[in-house]
Amino acid sequence: MSYSYNKCISLGLNCEVSFQVQRSMKNFESYFLSWAFLYSFEGLLKVLAEMEKIFNCDLEPHGTNMFLIKEYSIAFHGKANIDSIRLSNGKLDEVMLKDVKDELISRQLYLADKFRKTLNSGEKILLIIKPNPGIVDVTAFEVKNYSLQIRELLSNKYPNSDFDLLVLQEEQHFETDWNEPRIFNRYISKFAPIPKANEADVESWNKIFSEFKCI
């Protein structure tokens, strides 16, 4: 059996999902969490509940080109390499830093609005989430419970929504079908290494997208 959707949208927890959706779809679109990195399920729930508020918090330079919002355990990619805006004394150029942050915030606010409108449009949407126990602060046992919370939060926040939630884990965490409305639990042989999110097990992902199709 296969399932068809108008849109496929990643909820994270990192970029691997979006790389694979982009590879498999002709008309890929980015949304609020498509290229974000989330460090916890609690952070994800808080982001989904308060998406319009998160940029009231400070963005801290994080890694090569990302900015972290600690209050929500989420990091977004900026358009510039952090070292490229570093002065000779090692400090960051405050003017350039503000420009990078402003661009990121403007872009993500647009994508947040796009996410909200799309989810509440009544179109058939597949939301894909890839928790990774050991990388984020969740155990395999807790993944189902968090998935139920996501379903309830989004169903209540977007009453016109028509979505399914596809929860992907590695095969080592296999469980039989959860048999939960609007939720599918499926398994990938292994996820891509975190620093190389585009280096996925394509065969496993192809199997997923043969069952869940974006038209």
The residue behind tokens 């330079």 is 61
- What is the structure's pLDDT at 24? 86
Q: For the chain, which residues score pLDDT lower than 50?
A: none
Query: Is residue 193 domain-shared with residue 135, that is, in the same domain?
Result: yes
- What is the structure's pLDDT at 138? 73
Query: Is residue 162 domain-shared with residue 82, that is, in the same domain?
Result: no
**Angle at which helices 140-157 and 41-49 pack, to 10 degrees?**
0
Domain count, the chain: 2
The continuous run of DSSP H or E covering 97 comes out as helix 94-119
- What is the structure's pLDDT at 80? 86
- What is the structure's pLDDT at 90? 86
Query: Is residue 163 domain-shared with residue 196, that is, in the same domain?
Result: yes
- What is the structure's pLDDT at 198? 75
- Parallel, antiparallel or unpaired: strands 74-77 and 66-69: antiparallel
Provide the β-strand partners of residue 86: 92
**Is 91 part of any domain?**
yes
d(CA 94, CA 179) in angstroms, rounded, equals 52
- What is the structure's pLDDT at 133? 61
Name the token pair of 82. 């952090």
- What is the structure's pLDDT at 193? 78
SS3 of 74-93: the string is EEEECCCCHHHHECCCCCEC
